[in-house]
Structure 1
Amino acid sequence: MTFELDLLAVPKAVPEVRRLLRHHSCEVRLCASELLTNVIDHLGEGTPVTVRVLVTDHGHTRVEVTDPDPRALPVLLRATTTDESGRGLALLDAMAQRWGVEQGVDRKTVWCELEAPGQGTATLPHGRGSGGPPQRWP
Structure 2
Amino acid sequence: MRPSTLTLVLAIVLLSTGCLGVTPSTEPTRTETTQTTTATPTPTSTPTPTPNPPISDDEAKERALDHHETQTLDSIDHYDRYGVGHGSARVTNRTGSGVYVHFEQEYWYTSGDVEADRVTEATYFVNETTVRQVYR
When the two structures are superposed, what TM-score results if normalisation uses the length of structure 1?
0.30
More strand by share: 2
The structure having more radius of gyration, on CA atoms, is 2
Which structure's relative contact order is higher, taking Cα pairs within 8 Å and 6+ residues apart?
Answer: 1
When the two structures are superposed, what TM-score results if normalisation uses the length of structure 2?
0.30
